[in-house]
Structure 1
Amino acid sequence: MAKLRQNIAVKSKLSSTLKSWLPILQSPINELEEMLGKISEDNPYIEIQSAFSTSLQNKLTPLKSPQRSMHSAKNSIGDKIELLTIYEKGLIETLEEQISSPLFPTQRSQQIAYAIIGNLNSEGFFDCDIQEVIQDLQRDGIECDEAEIERVRKRFCHLEPSGIGAKNLEESLVFQLDISNLEDTDYDIALQIIRNLEQHTKFKKYKNYEKIMKVIRDFRRIPSLDFQEDSCAVIADIIIIQQNNNIELALNDSYYPSMIIEKPKLKNVEEDSYFKTKLKEARDLVDALDMRKATIRKIGLMIIEYQYDFFMGGEIKPMKLKDLADEFGHSPSTISRAIANKFLECNRGIFPIKSFFTTAIDGDTSNASIKEFLSDLVNNEDKCKPLSDIKILELIEKKFDLKMVRRTITKYRKQLGILGSSQRKRMYAMSI
């Protein structure tokens, strides 16, 4: 019976520690001190000593925002993976979630809509060669013409972000006008202003001119602007130290605050139930911080074990998030949240931890391998005749001996920040 009571006590202690452990684990390292401060602000036993007492200037590692242009041949794989994984939901995913009834009631209209999304440029405009889209759809067994594609594309005026899918700025503004609150004559005047923006002052005599101009000024000029990420600072949780063929793991302890438990200088503290509770909470919080360190270390060791070839200069191999979840006895969604916004630093650069959990496309082929090959193809393409997405698809299918659809290639290309073939051709011409 005594042993049973002891087991129950241990289990109870572990459970209370876990309640603190999960939010602490999920917190980014640069927000950890602030979070611990909020949790412990009413606890008289805890003193938190800041880890930010030294200059942040020497510790922060700048992370450049994804570039919306072609990658040069000098770009590292770190830059590419960073582009793919630092933000969980991008423009393409946001749009694809909206491709459903009633706007796109049939499977045919939905497939055409997906093809349109796959051919948007980095600003959210549809400025590609429409014949390529027709060929892509034919490969998927859909015979259609330009008129049908246009009918589907015009429905994009009802999608968010507003103005997406237009061919140019003027049409994007018209898309946004169509869903605005302007009606009747105000709408007609606004339409004329949009088509003559440089001469909009000639409409000043119209009584609602200021009202209309205020609405137009609020329209997006770049539909995808909200998805063009700002630069930010990244602090790695895990540091991989490599010397020759030896790999060692270190935690970035310099950003962990110190937690000290001190008894309040009051009489009869030990007998007061309030202080007893607070003392227990303080000890649980210290245990939870230690568990965070142990968990991050274990995740790092698993990554080294699974991705050893990558650290030696090879490619990232397929690694399932479920493997990590099973190891810790939590659901994949919990572990996914836990490793979000956490980074690993090694000789090859700084990587989001999530980037090491790539999806296996076929056997030992990961989507990271596909994207790496795609980037190499573009970096070495004929500048006078850039590779179309269809040609890239053919080369990838041949290289990896698998079947894919063109819109997947287009999606990967956009995630890498690589322009379409027609846009690349114009850029190459300008650089000659």
Structure 2
Amino acid sequence: MNMKTGLSQEQSLKLHLSQELRQAITLLQYNSMELEQYVQELALDNPLIEIKEQMNPNTFYHRRQFQGASWDYSEIDLIGSRSGGLADYMFEQLRMIDETDRIIKGTRMFVEQLNENGYLEEDAGIRGHGFSDAEEKECLLILQSLDPAGVGARSLQECLLLQTNRHQSKPKSAMDIISRYFTLFAERSWKELSRISGYKIQEIQNTYDYIQTLHPKPGSTYEGTHASYVVPDLIIERTGNGFEAGSNDAAVPEISISSEYESLKSQSGQGELKKYLSAKQQQGVWLLKTLDQRKETMVKVMKEILSVQQAFFQTGKPELLKPLTLNDLAEACGIHESTASRALKGKYVQTPYGTLEMKFFLTNKIGSANESDQSAAGAKEVLLRLVNNEDKTSPLSDQMIAAVMLERHDLKLSRRTVAKYRDQLKIPASSIRRRYTEASND
């Protein structure tokens, strides 16, 4: 076999991304806070980039959710955030307890074994550290007497019992039902529970309603839970003729290219310095250009959304959102789908109805009897209204909801789709939504 070596030329097409193009793609997918951090870091490395101080600092808007965007059925709202965590809060309480140093030390060791929800794992204990059984029990009792109520429990059942034990105005049946019939109670086998225990269904219902006021994860409220605040990249404002979409300029750092170094570039014998300054100047110019492109693209996308979703902006009703997919949006704007995706990712817009994520306005089309345009978002709002207005003693099943939505609202959904939307809205199944009355015992 003859083998030869030599040089040959081959022509091929390859996509080459310049540094500037990479920067444009990166900046487009940044939200306002990420963009500000990026520009600050770039300015530290480039002496020609100057960041002007904003006369009015960035305004932080609280993110609003439409009523019905989620259905918090069994969780109570988180209490105000605290500067320290759960352990710090409990250590503060221990400093005020009149006990021996040894018992305080043992209790602190228990605190250090709490998980993020305020529970102790099955193998948690302090006997392996030289404490007796009696000392361990005493330390555990002290731990469980601290705030928040329910901390130091080893199970959900014990957590609820610890909280219930502190309340004077609890239903008479609560302690007994939780301690003796918890499995049947949690599984909502209430008729069986009533037959075994002798409690009426209404008494069991009252206990259930009471438990909804307790917190199943007492420690989670002390782990740095902060209110959700965002800086909108865009603003929708009412005008005399309707609405107008614009950029929130206060959310983007205002930069300029310094001219102080121009004289150095013209000096002789400064080749390396001149080369360095020219590169930094070009980097700054590209940054300005890229920021303008980012703004132009995002405003263009938002204007198209505004055009399609006029019914929503006129009324503020999510059920009036029209079907709009990412591909449809990209085609209407004359940009690639990936560009549209980056323009939407993590971005928020300030509207007359609160600060909303831009992806909120994208929704798929669903079937209807007369082939009219119906959106998934609208279907979810209708579903939510049906559940909110249903007879709680006889709640609607998923199949019944599908039938009502078709008959009354021309929304053609399968039972599976209803169940999927219900899960997304955090709406429990009909068996859990059902409420009992005195007549239920009959």
Q: TM-score under structure 1 normalisation?
A: 0.56
* Distance in structure 1 (CA, Å) of the matches to 2:356 and 2:429: 26
Q: Distance in 1 between matches of 2:429 and 2:50?
A: 56
CA contact (8 A) 1:358 1:366 kept: yes
* Cα drift, residue 279 of structure 1: 0.8
Output the amino acid matched with 2:234.
I
Report which of the two has the higher share of helix: 1
| Counterparts in 2 of 1:385 and 1:50: CA distance versus 1, 3 Å | farther
Amino acid at match of 1:236: P
Moved >6 Å (runs of 4+): 120-123, 201-206, 216-221
Pick one of 232, 237, 250 that aligns with 2:233.
237
1:106-185 alignment runs, 5 A limit: none
Pairing 1:411–2:420 present: yes
Q: Paired residue for 1:386?
A: 395
* Counterpart for residue 20 of structure 1: 23
Structure 1: where are the runs of 5+ without partners?
1-11, 67-77, 85-119, 124-168, 187-200
1:157-216 deviations in whole A, cap 9, x for unaligned?
A: xxxxxxxxxxxx9xxx99x97xxxx7xxx9xxxxxxxxxxxxxx997799xx99xx9xx9
1:47 to 30, 47, 50: 50
Relative to 1, partners in 2 of residues 1:202 and 1:422: Cα closer, same or farther, differing over 3 Å? farther
Distance 1:50 1:243, change over 3 A: same
Q: 1:328 to 1:219 in 2, by over 3 A?
A: farther
User: Is it true that 1:36 corresponds to 2:39 in the alignment?
Assistant: yes
Corresponding residue of 1:323: 328
Deviation track 1:69-125 (CA, whole Å, cap 9, x = no partner) reads: xxxxxxxxx3445x59xxxxxxxxxxxxxxxxxxxxxxxxxxxxxxxxxxx9767xx
> Matched residues in 2 for 1:357 and 1:391: separation?
27
CA separation of 1:218 and 1:255: change in aligned 2, threshold 3 A: farther
Q: CA deviation at 1:404?
A: 1.4
The 1-side partners of 2:45 and 2:18 are apart by 22
Q: What is the percent sequence identity of the aligned residues?
A: 30
| TM-aligned CA distance change 1:205 to 1:254, over 3 Å | closer
Correspondence list, 1:206-355, <5 A: 231-243=227-239, 245-265=241-261, 268-269=264-265, 272-313=274-315, 315-326=320-331, 327-332=333-338, 334-355=339-360
Contact 2:51–2:253 (8 Å) recurs in 1: yes
Task: Please tell me whether Structure 1 or Structure 2 has the larger radius of gyration of its CA atoms.
Answer: 2
Instruction: State the 1:311 CA deviation.
Output: 1.6
Q: For the Cα contact (< 8 Å) 1:122–1:417, is it kept in 2?
A: no
Number of corresponding residues: 298
CA RMSD of aligned residues (A): 4.6
Aligned partner of residue 41 in structure 1, secondary structure: helix
Q: Distance in 1 between matches of 2:155 and 2:37?
A: 37
1:137 maps to what in 2?
A: none
Q: Tell me how far apart the structure 1 counterparts of residues 336 and 43 of structure 2 sit (CA, whole Å).
A: 26
Deviation of the 1:43 alpha carbon = 0.8
Q: Are residues 345 and 265 of structure 1, via their aligned partners in 2, closer, same or farther at CA, if it must alter by over 3 Å?
A: closer
Contact 1:342 1:352 in 2 (8 A): yes
In structure 2, the CA distance between the partners of 1:259 and 1:342, relative to structure 1 (3 Å rule), is same
Q: Is the 2:234–2:299 contact (alpha carbons within 8 Å) kept by the matching residues of 1?
A: yes
TM-score by length of 2: 0.55
Higher RCO (C-alpha under 8 Å, 6+ residues apart): 1
State the shift of 1:34 in Å: 1.5
Corresponding letter in the other structure for 1:251: S
Q: Which amino acid aligns with 1:308?
A: Q
Partners of 1:360 and 1:122 in 2: how far apart?
Answer: 31
Kindly tell me: are residues 339 and 204 of structure 1, through their superposed partners in 2, closer, same or farther at Cα, counting changes over 3 Å? Answer: farther
Q: C-alpha displacement at 1:418, in angstroms?
A: 3.3
Partner Cα distance (2:350, 2:264) in 1: 49
Which whole-Å CA distance do the structure 2 matches of 1:384 and 1:367 have between them?
A: 28
Per-residue CA distance 1:22-48 (angstroms, 9 max, x = gap)? 222211123322221113321121001
